[in-house]
Structure 1
Amino acid sequence: MALPKDESVPGNFTAAPPEEEEVRPGQNKSFTREESNKLGGDRALVSDFKQMKLEKEAQKNWDLFYKRNATNFFKDRHWTTREFEELRACRQFESQRLVLLEAGCGVGNCIFPLLEDDLNIFAYACDFSPRAVEFVKQNPLYCSERCCAFQCDLTKDDLRENVPEGSVDVITLIFVLSAIHPDKMKLALENISRVLKPGGTVLFRDYGLHDHAMLRFKAGSKLGENFYVRQDGTRSYFFSKEFLAELFEEAGFQSVTNNYVLRETVNKKEGLCVPRVFLQSKFTKPGQLQTS
């Protein structure tokens, strides 16, 4: 499930073009005293009753999101191959067929640019929202010979019902895990591990701790530590690199890279600039990759 506002700040902000965007991998940013006080003052959590209701209605809320926005909300992610060189580097030879799983495909803003760019990719694509999956299947670029889309709750639906066990070279988790309740994140990772080849790779990108979006939540939106709910009922977790590394290691993965990426989202017209913090990581499944 591709997360709302994952690459922009709500309002009139848009991401700066790469040549105008400051990118600083490494340590996370720090909050100002005013920002820390704002977050520190928001100690009250959403009631247990509402939290249970949000969990129960999570799929409905995502379906409503796609009903409202259809395929018009997200821009196609043409930056994926630039940010994740592993999509090419993991092959032993250029013409090798790569089997990809996009866990949380949304309406296909990531997989279709990849399929256009690389004719030697076969992509499995799943999403929590049945409506999002239907949008993927209705895309003119969708072809069953190169792509297989299906609905799936990563926390409870066995991926092996649609994807052969140990058959996937690369799995992408891009602005997906943050929408899952922290107590169930490990279940999702164990699920994807079953279809990943030994030596296969998970490419991760999601909200980092101290991202500007954390400050935009109003009082009454906090579900737990670094976990918030939006007005539309969809939820967002903000990751520290330590939490993420521990989470993947507990699910049996090995960490290769795990860094914050700091960017600036700008509005030239209004002369405004806000800091964004993402966590970009690479994990592998222990064992030797079996190439086809």
Structure 2
Amino acid sequence: MRGLVKLTARAVSFIPCRQCGGGRPPAPLGGRILSNPDDVFKHNMWDHVQWTEEEREKARQKAEENSEEKIPVEEQSKYDREAHKYWDQFYEMHQNKFFRNRNWLFTEFPELLPPDTGGMLMAEQEQGLQSVNREKHNYKDTYPGHHAAFRILEVGCGAGNSVFPIINTIRGSKAFLYCCDFSSRAIELIQKHPDYDPAVCHAFVRDICDATSPFPFPPESLDIILVVFVLSAIHPARAQAVVRGLAGLLKQGGMVLFRDYGRYDLSQLRFKKGQCLSENFYSRQDGTCVYFFTKDEVHDLFSAAGLEELQNLEDRRLQVNRGKKILMHRVWMQSKYRKPEK
């Protein structure tokens, strides 16, 4: 049973969260702590789970094993060259039924919530900067969201699992949401959704690896950029240029909110031999690709783009199938990086 552990409750290894002193941890990343191994099958998920050295070594060996046989070099380029096709097929097949709406966003990323006060003052302060940017970059006097005092961009928005919780939260405020994906099928699904509202959201097709294609707003005009399970789908050799480009879209003091796959997550260990493109980078059966990050890699990506770290966490959880008595280790990265004030 690849990547899974089938155990009785008493066989579960448990190490108290070091950062929490054995007590309830502060948010972020949840507060459901497994303090008694006998309780493991009482919930579907446990937070802040520490691995034993044995578990970590088994995971490392499994990843090493499934990376031994690489996809032939002459075939690798097609996964990058035809990525649009693979993701269009993915959304054509699953539409908006594959992922659930990310209602956890505002718990982990409260920065997405527009400021309650000061919106008009912010807009007045921005007016001069925006006019300079429009003139310098040939933007028109009006563009989608030009009136907003608080601007959010979600890159790689997919079928809208973050988009619609955000739209329904910011409607009636001075905030505006941009969302883009390089799958035209995904953007079509968003625009046809009954909750899509052009008054508060502008969805558009954009390959964020293409530095020559313009955005529908000026540089240095965004307060928040949301990057959730996106960079992992990009070839790791391209990731740094993408992050640098995104940093250029932020205002001073603006933030990138990041969440993605972590090294030795269950989904990495489940890959079979012959699906590996390069170290920790794999192709799924449907042709889409995924990379698995470490904390140091995330820090290096955003720091090299001139952003300062506010948060960089490894989210380790124990996912439980209570019916089959199966335990699964999940690993995600969650980070927040800010553009410094000059």
Q: Is the 8 A contact 2:170 2:176 kept in 1?
A: no
Q: Is the 8 A contact 2:112 2:152 kept in 1?
A: no
- 3-state SS, counterpart of residue 164 of structure 1: coil
What do residues 250-283 of structure 1 show as CA deviations (whole Å, max 9, x unaligned)?
Answer: 1221111101011222222222220110100000
RMSD: 2.3
1:53 is aligned to 2:105:
no
* Cα offset, 1:71, TM superposition: 1.1
Q: Is the 8 A contact 2:59 2:264 kept in 1?
A: no
* Cα offset, 1:163, TM superposition: 2.1
Partners of 1:117 and 1:128 lie apart in 2 by: 25
What do residues 86-134 of structure 1 show as CA deviations (whole Å, max 9, x unaligned)?
Answer: 223x737376742100011001110111111233231000001010011
Which structure would you say has the larger Rg?
Answer: 2
- 3-state SS, counterpart of residue 161 of structure 1: coil
Which residue, out of 252, 256, 269, partners 1:202?
256
* Cα offset, 1:186, TM superposition: 1.3
1:38 is aligned to 2:69:
no
1:259 is aligned to 2:284:
no
Partners of 1:126 and 1:18 lie apart in 2 by: 33
Q: Is the 8 A contact 1:156 1:187 kept in 2?
A: no
Partners of 1:22 and 1:216 lie apart in 2 by: 21
Q: 1:3 corresponds to which residue?
A: none
* Cα offset, 1:160, TM superposition: 4.0
- 3-state SS, counterpart of residue 248 of structure 2: helix
Paired residues for 1:61-140 under 5 Å: 61-88=86-113, 91=115, 93=117, 97-119=149-171, 120=173, 121-140=175-194
Under a length normalisation based on structure 2, what TM-score does the superposition of the two structures give? 0.74
Q: 1:193 corresponds to which residue?
A: 247
What do residues 220-276 of structure 1 show as CA deviations (whole Å, max 9, x unaligned)?
Answer: 011111111100110000000101111111122111110101122222222222011
Q: 2:330 corresponds to which residue?
A: 276
Name the structure where strand makes up a greater proportion of residues: 1
* Cα offset, 1:54, TM superposition: 1.0
Q: Is the 8 A contact 1:266 1:274 kept in 2?
A: yes
- 3-state SS, counterpart of residue 276 of structure 1: strand
Paired residues for 1:164-183 under 5 Å: 164-183=218-237
Q: Is the 8 A contact 2:155 2:180 kept in 1?
A: yes
